[in-house]
Every structure is written in structure tokens, then in C-alpha cells.
């Protein structure tokens, strides 16, 4: 299977490339111009092959650190926002100049989580990116760190790149870092660690292999890359984690060479709206279900009814996105809930016919309708 998937990568028409801070900057925070020029040259060459190219680039905070002469990464949110404001201008200026030298136009696109939470803004973001591609422009995308709060504290461009790949129906996501891919253990501390060439299923055992990086400037690690891979493969996008320090690595991937760690897409890709439900909005709460409800969702294509609910966690409102887990803590699905947490706590475990008596009014028979439910 791996050989077949890698062979298909040679025909990828729309490619998202994510480059991490560890590749783009030196340890002191200043931009690695030699590296950036090499990446730009590779992407420009892909564009010359009539492929659509989108670049998700970290490095704004790192570039700001270098420009301001700071000795370490700032810790507070206002400091990070200010440093990002300085660095983002530097970063896009470099990209615009280098892409222009190779005859291509770059456009800066700054996104926050809110752009993917709100359905209308999600559609607007999709339309903007696809229009730029139709115009032959190379979008250079980053989180809007100058205004984002939660994104800087908890997010990173690994997840953003996967969401962008899903947003534009990409064929391939290339996630470049300072490591060759996913290993059986941390290769920096275990010389016997083995590179995993292909991951057909992101199982709990695979997720346990992920460890946080200890880099000075980066925010992500293998854990967030696996989260990104889960988004990508469930939305029909192949993903490869590879070492961005190796010259020609993107072309090696697109030539079908066995480099990095490949995550093949799932056979059935989600439609656009269900992608948004599954991976766009922030999860506001959790619903724990029993074995009968689990079977009904996974094997019978049913909606989630109150009778199968054991526990309600979190403080969510009607039409928020919630996570559905089984009694062992495994996430089964995500969906738009028809009841707030307070009301759902009152009707959990009861038959649909009893909802009106418990709430004082007749509500929806389904807690989450099948059309608003995404099985993970």
C-alpha cells in the first residue's frame, strides 16, 4: 500500500508545505536566509510544473526575537503578540522578494482559529485561498499571532497547515521539521530508535510515541504533528513528515521516494461541512456514551439519543461542538449538540418520550442528529 500511495504523490496537483521555526531561524532567532531561499526555490519550481502551492510558514515570533535583539522567547501573551507584529513584517518581506526573483507572486494570509470556528468565515477563508490559487498566486499563511491569544498559548502551525490542506482540498501536506519523521522512540536520546516509514492508522500506541520537542523557538512537536496528521488523513489528504534540513526533500517526496513518515488518507473523505464540524470549531464539552450507543453510532449509522448517554462534561450551549467518547475514554465522534449541558444533564439516560416531562417542553428527539455527527 505504501508504494502505491507514494507513487500517487507524484501526481499531486495541490500541495501545502508547512515549515517550522526550527528550520527557518537560527538559535538566536534571526532568519536563516539561505534556508528560506532554498525552500522558495523548490516551491517556485513546483509552481513552474503547474502545481498549486500553499506555504504555511512559522517564524514570525522568531524573526521578531532576532530583530529586537532578545535573548530568549517571550513568555507573556502581550510580549509574544508584540514580537510577532515586528517579525511578521520581516518574514513576508523576505518571502515576497525571493518569490518575485523566481517570477512568482506571494500573498500574505493571516488566520486565527476564529476564522475556522465561524461557518461563514470558514467559507470566506476557503474562497479567498482558492481564488488566490486561480490567480496563480502562492499564499504564504501564518497564524495571526499579533491578535491571537489561545493560538499562541496552545496552538501551532502544524494544526493550521492540516486545516488549510482540508480547506482547499489539497492532495498532499508536507510537514517539514528538523527530524526525519516519526520514530519508535526519541532518536535524540536513543540511538536505536527506528524511523517509521508509513502509518496507516493513528492508533493510541502510535500517539504514545509522540514527544514534545525541547527547541527554544518552536511551539510544536511530534504530538502536534500527529494531531495534524489525524486531521489530514480524515479529510482525504496524504501527509508526510520529513526533515526540512535536507536539500531537495520536497522533490524527493513528490518523486515517490521513501523518505520521511507517510500518513495515507482514509478511503472515505469527509465532505466540507463535516470537516468543519470535526476539525474547525473548538470543542466545548464532552458526552460519555454507553456500549449500546457506541454500537448504534459506529455500526448502525444512527443519531445519538439521550438514552445512551452516561455523563455530560463541560459547560456548552445548544449548537456547540462536543466530543462523544465511550466508557474507556476513546473519542468516537464530534457533533453539533441540540441541547445545552444543563438540559442534557437532566435528560441523560432517559427515553425520548420523557424529554418533555423533564424539561417542561418538547425538545429534539436526537441529542446529535446523524447529519450533524462526524464519526472519527
Same domain, 264 and 293: no
Whole-model pTM: value is: 0.80
Same domain, 54 and 192: yes
Residue 32 has pLDDT above 70, yes or no: yes
Same domain, 69 and 169: yes
Q: What is the mean pLDDT of the chain?
A: 87
| pLDDT given for residue 313 in this prediction | 95
Same domain, 287 and 270: no
| pLDDT given for residue 214 in this prediction | 42
| pLDDT given for residue 26 in this prediction | 82
pLDDT band at residue 191 using 50, 70 and 90 as cut-offs: confident
Q: What span, in angstroms and rounded, lies between the C-alpha atoms of 257 and 229? A: 19
Same domain, 158 and 9: yes
Say if residues 107 and 138 touch (Cβ distance below 8 Å). Answer: yes
Same domain, 308 and 234: no
Q: What span, in angstroms and rounded, lies between the C-alpha atoms of 241 and 253? A: 10
Digit-coded pLDDT (tens) for 118-143: 778 888 999 999 999 999 999 999 88
Same domain, 210 and 327: no
Same domain, 256 and 292: no
Q: Give the distance, in angstroms, between the CA of residue 85 and the centroid of all CA atoms in the same chain.
A: 23
Q: What span, in angstroms and rounded, lies between the C-alpha atoms of 104 and 183? A: 37
Same domain, 221 and 370: no
Residue 314 has pLDDT above 90, yes or no: yes
Q: What span, in angstroms and rounded, lies between the C-alpha atoms of 275 and 277? A: 5
Q: What span, in angstroms and rounded, lies between the C-alpha atoms of 348 and 335? A: 17
Residue 92 has pLDDT above 90, yes or no: yes
Digit-coded pLDDT (tens) for 323-354: 999 998 888 899 999 999 999 999 999 998 88
SS3 content of the chain, % helix, strand, coil (to 5): 45, 20, 40
Closest CA to 173 of 232, 231, 217, 214: 232
Same domain, 214 and 84: yes
Domain of 354, in residue numbers: 283-375
Which of 216, 243, 274 is the last residue before a domain boundary? 274
Which of 274, 306, 333 is the last residue before a domain boundary? 274
Could you tell me which residues come within 8 angstroms of residue 105 by beta carbon, excluding any fewer than 6 positions away? 99, 136, 137, 138
Digit-coded pLDDT (tens) for 264-312: 998 776 777 777 787 766 789 999 999 999 999 999 989 999 999 999 9
Which of 274, 295, 323 is the last residue before a domain boundary? 274
The total number of structural domains that make up the chain:
2
CATH code (residue 348): 2.30.130.10
Burial status of residue 7 (CB atoms within 10 A of its CB: 0-12, 13-18, 19 or more): exposed
Say if residues 169 and 127 touch (Cβ distance below 8 Å). Answer: no
Same domain, 38 and 167: yes
Q: What span, in angstroms and rounded, lies between the C-alpha atoms of 228 and 162? A: 5
15 half-sphere exposure, CB direction, 13 A CA radius: 26
Same domain, 210 and 349: no
CATH code (residue 14): 3.40.1160.10
Amino acid at each position: 500500500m505504501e508504494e502505491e500511495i507514494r507513487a500517487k504523490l507524484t501526481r499531486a496537483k495541490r500541495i501545502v508545505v508547512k515549515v517550522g521555526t526550527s528550520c527557518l531561524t537560527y538559535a538566536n532567532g534571526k532568519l536563516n536566509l539561505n534556508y528560506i531561499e532554498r525552500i522558495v526555490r523548490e516551491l517556485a519550481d513546483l509552481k513552474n510544473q503547474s502545481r498549486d502551492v500553499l506555504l504555511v510558514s512559522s517564524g514570525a515570533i522568531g524573526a521578531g526575537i532576532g530583530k529586537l535583539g532578545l535573548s530568549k522567547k517571550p513568555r507573556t501573551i502581550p510580549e509574544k503578540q508584540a514580537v510577532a507584529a515586528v517579525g511578521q513584517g520581516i518574514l513576508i518581506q523576505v518571502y515576497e522578494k525571493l518569490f518575485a526573483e523566481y517570477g512568482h507572486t506571494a500573498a500574505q494570509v493571516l488566520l486565527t482559529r476564529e476564522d475556522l470556528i465561524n461557518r461563514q468565515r470558514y467559507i470566506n477563508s476557503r474562497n479567498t485561498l482558492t481564488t488566490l490559487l486561480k490567480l496563480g498566486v502562492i499564499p504564504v499563511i501564518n497564524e495571526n499571532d499579533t491578535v491571537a491569544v489561545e493560538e499562541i498559548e496552545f496552538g501551532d502551525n502544524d494544526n493550521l497547515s492540516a486545516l488549510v490542506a482540508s480547506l482547499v482540498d489539497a492532495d498532499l501536506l508536507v510537514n517539514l521539521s528538523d527530524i526525519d519523521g516519526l520514530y519508535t522512540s526519541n532518536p535524540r536520546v536513543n540511538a536505536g530508535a527506528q524511523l517509521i516509514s508509513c502509518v496507516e492508522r493513528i492508533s493510541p500506541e502510535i500517539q504514545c510515541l509522540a514527544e514534545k520537542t525541547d527547541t527554544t523557538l518552536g511551539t510544536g512537536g511530534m504530538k502536534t504533528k500527529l494531531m495534524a496528521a489525524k486531521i489530514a488523513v480524515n479529510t482525504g489528504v496524504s501527509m508526510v513528515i520529513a526533515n526540512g534540513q535536507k536539500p531537495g526533500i520536497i522533490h524527493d517526496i513528490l518523486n515517490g521516494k521513501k523518505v520521511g513518515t507517510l500518513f495515507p488518507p482514509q478511503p472515505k473523505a469527509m465532505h466540507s461541512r463535516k470537516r468543519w464540524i470535526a476539525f474547525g470549531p473548538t470543542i466545548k464539552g464532552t458526552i460519555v456514551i454507553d456500549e449500546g450507543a457506541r454500537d448504534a453510532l459506529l455500526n448502525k449509522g444512527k443519531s445519538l439519543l439521550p438514552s445512551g448517554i452516561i455523563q455530560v462534561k463541560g459547560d456548552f450551549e445548544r449548537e456547540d461542538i462536543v466530543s462523544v467518547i465511550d466508557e474507556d475514554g476513546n473519542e468516537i465522534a464530534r457533533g453539533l449538540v441540540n441541547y445545552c449541558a444543563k438540559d442534557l444533564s437532566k435528560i441523560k439516560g432517559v427515553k425520548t418520550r420523557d424529554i418533555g416531562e423533564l424539561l417542561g417542553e418538547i425538545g429534539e428527539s436526537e441529542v446529535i442528529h446523524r447529519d450533524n455527527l462526524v464519526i472519527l
